């Protein structure tokens, strides 16, 4: 079977000064030129752009469609209706591609579809250029739940032609923007998903006030329109199901009996019986929190809301990374923050015993114990972090609780990062560390009554 054909659809509305660079990037592609067709849709441009298009037609091979101004979505739909390729790649006239972009996009979507036939598009990371200094912006891996609130998949995505043959199209009523976001969500509603192409293949021009800026300013109104257009995907029961499948709150690595005894709905199960050892499941874990039960634990837990309590405890106490679950002298399992496991420990498959995990936890963070008998959380610092780590932790927790809600997480993170860099370079900061970060062991208790407020309603909270 030969290589598939690709149709590049380029809407152009008064973007003549940039179109030449866009077309030049297509001419330099490593993908066979005879398998690529380029379609330029002139969406009612003025005389200057029309003249530029006519001049470029003498230098580059492309099909030209001219129409009265109907908006970006209509221009794309008209171009796609004309296209004959197996795959469709929308490309705005002021952006361009790296020479290997089409080759990598086709390889990625074919490999992805071989593993999962539901994959219908591949989106790219961005390299911003133009008004600002060039910068690489990597996107997150595809996650339908995250896509509900974050438009991380750019319009310049390679789409399987079949989705348009099945009746999908860009929403022509969304003339202010986010039409690509709406399409990707609509595909997700019907079970069709995307994949990310890593790397610097897509170059996105920033030049003054653009349609993206306008869309961002009107985000509240546009999101309300998306919710109206795709009401069923935002319907709370459906949204909870999407979250459970794509971004569960807790991965439960335990026996079925233990899992069935819990009321937490926002969770997925990885059965211990299917694993050689507990950490063999690390590549299957996608949740924010992880619960590893002891391999021998098969009896139901006598508190059906235990997982809810542990989750909310972690949500309220950002300094907690790991909780050991105790029943008398017996250890029942460990409840961990997944970021801590993957990024800060890290745990891997060679850590095949609980003792190894406990040693790593004790070496990296304070030990918190949940006494199931007394419904009590106990923290006793068995290991003292270096002053740098303790002060860093204090700054980070203060930023999350008090700074980020006011200025946004990204800004707060940058503030924390630069503040910590200054702290690392300043020896005087060590001598002025807060008195609350004493080197003495810490002990604290919180009663079950204090922790029980609101737990029974937690299953309706999406975090």
Distance CA 25, CA 29 (A): 7
Query: Do 170 and 110 lie in a common domain?
Result: yes
The listed range with the strongest mean pLDDT (84-88, 226-230, 360-364, 387-391) is 84-88
Query: Do 146 and 102 lie in a common domain?
Result: yes
Query: Do 212 and 302 lie in a common domain?
Result: no
* 179-189 helix and 72-82 helix, angle to the nearest 10 degrees: 60
199 inside domain:
yes
Query: Do 399 and 345 lie in a common domain?
Result: no
pLDDT at 292: 82
Could you tell me the two tokens for 94? 């002021």
Report yes or no: 155 and 180 within 8 Å, Cβ to Cβ: yes
Q: What three-state secondary structure class fits 89?
A: strand
110 inside domain:
yes
Query: Do 73 and 183 lie in a common domain?
Result: yes
Work out the angle at residue 189's Cα, subtended by the Cα atoms of residues 185 and 192, and round it to the nearest 5 degrees.
85
3-state helix, strand, coil in the chain (%, to 5): 40, 20, 35
Using a 10 angstrom Cβ sphere, with 0-12 exposed, 13-18 middle and 19 or more buried, the burial of residue 444 is: exposed
CB neighbour list of residue 432: distance below 8 Å, 6 or more residues apart: none
For residue 443, pLDDT beyond 50: no
The reply to whether omega before 346 is within 30° of 0 (cis) is yes
Give pLDDT tens digits for 198-212.
Answer: 999 999 988 754 555
CB neighbour list of residue 225: distance below 8 Å, 6 or more residues apart: 173, 174
Which of 61-65, 162-166, 278-282 shows the lowest mean pLDDT across its residues?
278-282
pLDDT at 125: 92
Distance CA 160, CA 390 (A): 51
Distances (CA, A) of 67 to 13, 272, 390: 10, 61, 63
Query: Do 316 and 196 lie in a common domain?
Result: no
Query: Do 258 and 198 lie in a common domain?
Result: no
Cβ neighbour number for residue 133 with a 10 Å cutoff: 7
Query: Do 358 and 299 lie in a common domain?
Result: yes
Could you tell me the two tokens for 133? 């200094």
Report yes or no: 444 and 369 within 8 Å, Cβ to Cβ: no
239 inside domain:
no
Cβ neighbour number for residue 289 with a 10 Å cutoff: 26
243 inside domain:
no
Q: Which residue among 229, 257, 292 closes a domain?
A: 229
31 inside domain:
yes
Distance CA 327, CA 294 (A): 12
Q: What is the mean pLDDT of the chain?
A: 79
240 inside domain:
no
Query: Do 154 and 211 lie in a common domain?
Result: yes
Matching residue, tokens 């930023």: 399
pLDDT at 451: 35
Average pLDDT over residues 250-279: 71
Query: Do 377 and 391 lie in a common domain?
Result: no
Report yes or no: 178 and 149 within 8 Å, Cβ to Cβ: no
Using a 10 angstrom Cβ sphere, with 0-12 exposed, 13-18 middle and 19 or more buried, the burial of residue 167 is: exposed
Instruction: Name the H helices within 317-437.
Output: 338-339, 354-364, 387-398, 404-407, 409-425, 427-431
Distances (CA, A) of 425 to 388, 418, 421: 11, 11, 6
Q: Which domain holds residue 378?
A: 248-384+443-460
Query: Do 201 and 295 lie in a common domain?
Result: no
331 inside domain:
yes
Distance CA 292, CA 270 (A): 10
For residue 216, pLDDT beyond 70: no
Give pLDDT tens digits for 333-390.
Answer: 888 887 766 666 666 555 556 666 667 666 666 778 888 888 888 876 544 455 555 5
Q: How many domains does the chain have?
A: 3
CB neighbour list of residue 458: distance below 8 Å, 6 or more residues apart: 264, 305, 308, 311, 312
Distance CA 334, CA 43 (A): 59
**What is the DSSP secondary-structure string of 36-56?**
EEEEEEEES--HHHHHHHHHH
Q: Which residue among 200, 229, 258 closes a domain?
A: 229
For residue 37, pLDDT beyond 60: yes
25 inside domain:
yes
328: left (phi over 0), alpha (psi -120 to 50) or beta: left
Distance CA 409, CA 120 (A): 32
Query: Do 54 and 172 lie in a common domain?
Result: yes
Give pLDDT tens digits for 90-128.
Answer: 999 999 999 999 999 999 999 999 999 999 999 999 998
**What is the DSSP secondary-structure string of 347-375?**
--TT--SHHHHHHHHHHHS-EEEEETTTT
CATH classification of the domain holding 22: 3.90.550.10
CB neighbour list of residue 378: distance below 8 Å, 6 or more residues apart: 368, 369, 370, 371, 443, 444, 445
For residue 272, pLDDT beyond 50: yes
């Amino acid at each position: 079977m030969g290589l598939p054909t690709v149709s590049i659809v380029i809407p152009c509305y008064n973007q003549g000064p940039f179109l030449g660079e866009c077309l030049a990037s297509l001419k330099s592609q490593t993908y066979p030129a005879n398998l690529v067709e380029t379609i330029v849709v002139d969406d009612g441009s003025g005389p200057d752009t029309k003249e530029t298009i006519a001049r470029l037609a003498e230098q580059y091979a492309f099909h030209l469609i001219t129409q009265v101004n109907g908006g970006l979505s209509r221009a794309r739909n008209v171009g796609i209706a004309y296209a004959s390729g197996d795959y469709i790649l929308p490309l705005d006239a002021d952006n361009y591609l790296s020479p290997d972009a089409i080759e990598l996009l086709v390889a990625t979507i074919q490999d992805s579809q071989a593993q999962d036939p539901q994959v219908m598009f591949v989106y790219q990371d961005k390299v911003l250029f133009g008004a600002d200094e060039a910068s690489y912006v990597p996107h997150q891996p595809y996650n339908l739940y995250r896509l509900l609130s974050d438009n991380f998949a750019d319009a310049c995505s390679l789409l399987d032609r079949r989705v348009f043959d099945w009746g999908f199209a860009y929403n022509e009523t969304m003339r202010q923007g986010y039409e690509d976001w709406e399409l990707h969500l609509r595909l997700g509603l019907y079970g069709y998903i995307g994949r990310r192409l890593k790397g610097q293949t897509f170059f996105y021009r920033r030049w003054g006030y653009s349609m993206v800026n306008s869309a961002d300013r009107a985000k509240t109104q546009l999101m309300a329109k998306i919710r109206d257009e795709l009401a069923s995907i935002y319907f709370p029961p459906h949204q909870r199901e999407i979250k459970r499948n794509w971004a569960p709150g807790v991965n439960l690595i335990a026996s079925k009996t233990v899992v069935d005894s819990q009321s937490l709905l926002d969770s997925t199960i990885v059965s211990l019986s299917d694993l050689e050892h507990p950490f063999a499941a690390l590549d299957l874990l996608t949740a924010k929190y992880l619960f590893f039960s002891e391999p021998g634990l098969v009896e139901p837990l006598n508190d059906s809301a235990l997982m809810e309590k542990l989750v909310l405890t972690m949500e309220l106490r950002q300094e907690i990374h790991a909780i050991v679950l105790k029943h008398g002298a017996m250890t029942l399992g460990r409840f961990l923050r997944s970021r801590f496991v993957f990024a800060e420990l890290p745990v891997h498959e060679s850590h095949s015993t609980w003792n190894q995990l406990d040693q790593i936890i004790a070496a990296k963070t304070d030990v918190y114990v949940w006494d199931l008998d007394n419904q009590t959380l106990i923290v006793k610092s068995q290991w003292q972090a270096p002053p740098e780590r303790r002060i860093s932790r204090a700054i980070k927790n203060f930023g999350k609780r008090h700074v980020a809600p006011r200025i946004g997480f990204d800004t707060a993170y940058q503030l924390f990062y630069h503040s910590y860099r200054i702290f690392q370079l300043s020896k005087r900061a060590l001598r002025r560390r807060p008195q609350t970060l004493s080197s003495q062991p810490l002990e604290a208790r919180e009663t079950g009554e204090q922790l029980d407020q609101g737990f029974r309603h937690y299953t309706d909270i999406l975090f």
